[in-house]
Amino acid sequence: KEAAHAVLVFLAIRGIGKSQPLISAMHRDEQTPEVVVQRLIASFPTKVPSCQALSATGRSLVERALDIHRAFNFGHFLQGENTPRHVGVLQGIIKEEGTEVLRFYLLSLVGVMCGLRGEES
């Protein structure tokens, strides 16, 4: 139940990171959507009220999923655009973080992939 709630929050807030005014306010090396969302959650938690309802575990899962999404682009993987190094990075994260984070990441991917063409149907 906690992970399902955290995935819904993840899916709701991940688009905030694509806001051009927020991206341009970040340092050059931090201008990725995932980092924008992480900084917003850390620095301005009242601007992301969905995260305030999460437990510490749920918030940690959201933050780790953002880290993984930044390090490994699953869309590129599906299109055969990743190198073995990218897969190695993902494997290293899974070894370090464990299967709970992997399960959460995979569940978040289902939501992300389902929403990619949502406007068309």
pLDDT for the residue numbered 85: 93
pTM of the model: 0.85
pLDDT at residue 87 greater than cutoff 80: yes
- SS3 string of 41-80? HHHCHHHCHHHHCCCHHHHHHHHHHHHHHHHCCHHHHHCC
Tell whether the model's pLDDT for residue 121 goes beyond 70.
Answer: no
At 12-52, the pLDDT tens digits run 998 888 888 888 888 887 778 888 899 899 988 898 999 98
Which amino acid type is present at position 106? L
